[in-house]
Amino acid sequence: MKHKSISNKDRLIFAMDVADCDRARSLTDELGDSVTFYKIGLELMMSGEYFELLDWMLARDKKVFCDLKFFDIPATVGSAVRQLKDRGASFVTVHGNHSMMEAAAENKGDTLKVLGVTTLTSLDRGDLDNLGFDCDLEALVLSRARQALDAGCDGVISSGLEVPKLREHLDNKLLVISPGIRPVDNKPMSDQKRVVTVETAFSNGADYIVVGRPIRDAESPRAVAEAMQASIESQMNP
């Protein structure tokens, strides 16, 4: 698998899933140079200081992934992305159909990259049945990724389990970001059903991984992040 030219340290994205921005700043300081890329999502958006935190991280030379999963009528999605495009974020997510993703792509500007969500890693076959999706999970991910590519998105969010199929059938230029990552010895997470290890994600062809609780809840978050960075380095430079 030929990987894209991305700084190896940037390939680890830490999911900053905490309740307030003071905790986020403290954890960022604790992680130091072991993490260069952060994902901030809906929980922090509701804290009321989302953009202050975004600016604070950018001032410290961190990259930021705004995981807001926009889902609304295309005009509203396009307007939301247009409002975000000059704020300095690297990625934003859209969790909608072709027209929503197309509207996002048309308004992203030159630096913000739009990522289409394929299927959440918290969903399994039973959940898809419950939602009314009468198709194979892998086929659904591939279909959603094709739509994202056709709509002009820069990449997709996909479990590491489905990445080989994406690499087999889609343009390798498409970025693939894989959440649901955990160390081999980490206990299963009840709301993350389709998980893989760091090594499997990259050997399957992921460009980035998103890791949250295995780092956040560790006795030494920095030590876990550094171990993951070492694993990534060995994967990229065997």
What are the residue numbers of the active site?
A: 69
Cα 144 to Cα 168: distance, rounded to the nearest angstrom: 15
Closest CA to 17 of 155, 215, 182, 226: 215
The span from the CA of 206 to the CA of 158, in Å, is: 9
CA angle 107, 108, 112 (to 5 degrees): 170
Q: What is the DSSP letter of 184?
A: T
Measure the CA–CA gap between 84 and 45, rounded to whole angstroms: 13
Q: Kind and range of the H or E element at 201?
A: helix 198-203
